[in-house]
Amino acid sequence: MVSQNPIFIPGPTNIPDAVRHAIDVPMEDMRAPDFPAFTLPLFADVRKVLATRTGEVFLIPGSGTLGWEGAIANTLCPGDRVLTCRLGQFSTLWSTMCERFGLEVVNVDVEWGHAIPADRFARILADDTGHRIKAVLACHNETATGVTSDIAAVRAALDACDHPALLFVDGVSSIASIDFRMDAWGVDVAVAGSQKGFMLPAGLAIVGVSQKAMACGKTATLPRYTTDFAAMQAANAGGYFPYTPATNLMRGLRCSLDLLLAEGLPNVYARHHRMAQGVRRAVAAWGLSLCAADPATASDTVSAICVPTGVDPAAVVRAAYEHWGLSLGVGLAKVADRVFRIGHLGATTELMILSGIAGAELALRDAGARIELGSGVAAAQAWYEQSRPAAARAAAAE
């Protein structure tokens, strides 16, 4: 009998059985009088994951891309200037969206594999004495390159020159997996997606919006309808929606939030770091390197792995899927010919990650890479054994 292997792409991620069962329920009346008893606590618990007390939370049927669109359309006017950093495929796509909305985009381009240069942002913002820049867009975790940027440093760059620009953060592949602090970092719009750390199918944009950003909706003149935050706020206040909500996904979200909060968010973040460290040790044992130029910025949710000279990364991904039933992530855009990716976020365990590493070794060999079978697995095993939480080590010793 053949069963489904775990997937090791950076989203959609593996869905826990409890979440799948929570989604598999009959349709319900989203205008029923008791519906707010479900939705209002749901909004409150999403706020806990975003680490905001005062921000509005919106659950919009769609992908994280729709969240990007909402951030722009609800706060800005045609011709407004925004500051972005293009450091990978997804940060580039958000910049392109701004251009299509008729915004004036100031792009800071860095070599893919590097994080947002907060010092360059600081200089640009300090020079903007007329405050023409209305928003700063920052990709917290660039999924294409496996690089995590310092959002607190971006906020510090704004604060150092008392700049009033809004701060938008793409947290699609970081929120619910990597430490994220909306209020503490002064984030005005935080965008997440259901299919990553929230361990759900794709289909929900999960968006946090500060009161400062909400107020901008009164003067913003870009067209909006589906993503009208003011309409959502008015309906959500009573526990309802201005559109047909994705009720089954929201039932799954209720379950995933219960799992995350029961584990404890600091423990969730520590678990992701520990899983990622195992992958990084495997990569080093193979004699390969990450796309992330600085080890300190290597992502805890996805590793973009540079293949050896003469090896086609697409062949690695294809061999993994066709020969071993394993899904790995392809390289994207500028790094398509350099990297393949291993996603290690969401509902992951040591044994799941070890199976992904073992499959990646086989696929690398199939594609012509000269690596020693078992080397990455052994390196990751050693790390997982060494880094086991103290309680687990004590139990194993009894």
Give the end of a domain, one of 228, 261, 294: 261
Mutual orientation of helices 151-160 and 118-127 as an angle, nearest 10°? 20
Does residue 318 sit in the same domain as residue 392? yes
Give residue 239's pLDDT: 98
Q: Examine residue 187 and state whether it is found in any structural domain, yes or no.
A: yes
Q: How far apart are CA 161 and CA 263, in angstroms?
A: 39
Q: Examine residue 54 and state whether it is found in any structural domain, yes or no.
A: yes
Q: Give yes or no for residue 133 having a pLDDT over 60.
A: yes
Does residue 195 sit in the same domain as residue 336? no
Q: Cα dihedral sign for 259, 265, 267, 268?
A: positive
Does residue 79 sit in the same domain as residue 207? yes
Does residue 257 sit in the same domain as residue 282? no
Q: Is the pTM of this model over 0.75?
A: yes
Does residue 65 sit in the same domain as residue 197? yes
Please work out, in degrees rounded to the nearest 5, the angle formed at the alpha carbon of residue 277 by the alpha carbons of 63 and 387: 125
Transcribe 361-380 into DSSP letters. HHHHHHTT----TTHHHHHH
Helix locations, the chain, DSSP H: 17-23, 36-50, 64-73, 89-100, 118-127, 151-160, 211-216, 229-236, 247-263, 265-285, 313-324, 350-366, 375-386, 390-397
Q: How far apart are CA 354 and CA 332, in angstroms?
A: 25
Transcribe 266-307 into DSSP letters. HHHHHHHHHHHHHHHHHHHHTT-EES-SSGGGB-SSEEEEEP
Does residue 128 sit in the same domain as residue 210? yes
- pLDDT digit string (tens) for 73-103? 999 999 999 999 999 999 999 999 999 999 9
Number of domains composing the chain:
2
CATH value at residue 154: 3.40.640.10
Average pLDDT for 63-71 = 96
Q: Examine residue 241 and state whether it is found in any structural domain, yes or no.
A: yes
Does residue 125 sit in the same domain as residue 107? yes
Q: Examine residue 7 and state whether it is found in any structural domain, yes or no.
A: no
Give the end of a domain, one of 261, 293, 325: 261
Does residue 299 sit in the same domain as residue 160? no
Structural domain that includes position 355: 264-397
Does residue 128 sit in the same domain as residue 44? yes
Give residue 156's pLDDT: 98
Q: Examine residue 3 and state whether it is found in any structural domain, yes or no.
A: no
CATH value at residue 292: 3.90.1150.10
Q: What is the mean pLDDT of the chain?
A: 96
Q: Give yes or no for residue 66 having a pLDDT over 80.
A: yes
For the chain, percent of residues with pLDDT exceeding 70: 97
Give residue 56's pLDDT: 98
| Token digits of residue 353 | 């990650």
Give the end of a domain, one of 243, 261, 279: 261
Does residue 52 sit in the same domain as residue 185? yes
Mutual orientation of helices 265-285 and 375-386 as an angle, nearest 10°? 150
Give the burial class of 397: count Cβ atoms within 10 A of its Cβ; 0-12 exposed, 13-18 middle, 19 or more buried.
exposed
**In whole angstroms, how large is the CA radius of gyration of the chain?**
21
- pLDDT digit string (tens) for 351-389? 999 999 999 999 999 999 999 999 999 999 999 999 998
Q: Give yes or no for residue 2 having a pLDDT over 90.
A: no
Q: Give yes or no for residue 393 having a pLDDT over 90.
A: no
Does residue 189 sit in the same domain as residue 250? yes
Give residue 1's pLDDT: 44
Give residue 204's pLDDT: 98
- pLDDT digit string (tens) for 187-228? 999 999 999 999 999 999 999 999 999 999 999 999 999 999
Q: Give yes or no for residue 290 having a pLDDT over 50.
A: yes
- pLDDT digit string (tens) for 140-182? 999 999 999 999 999 999 999 999 999 999 999 999 999 999 9
Does residue 243 sit in the same domain as residue 284? no
| Element housing 328 (H / E) | strand 327-330
For the chain, percent of residues with pLDDT exceeding 90: 96
- pLDDT digit string (tens) for 243-252? 999 999 999 9
Give residue 389's pLDDT: 81
Q: Examine residue 2 and state whether it is found in any structural domain, yes or no.
A: no
pLDDT band for position 16 (cuts 50, 70, 90)? very high
Q: Examine residue 233 and state whether it is found in any structural domain, yes or no.
A: yes
Q: Examine residue 11 and state whether it is found in any structural domain, yes or no.
A: no
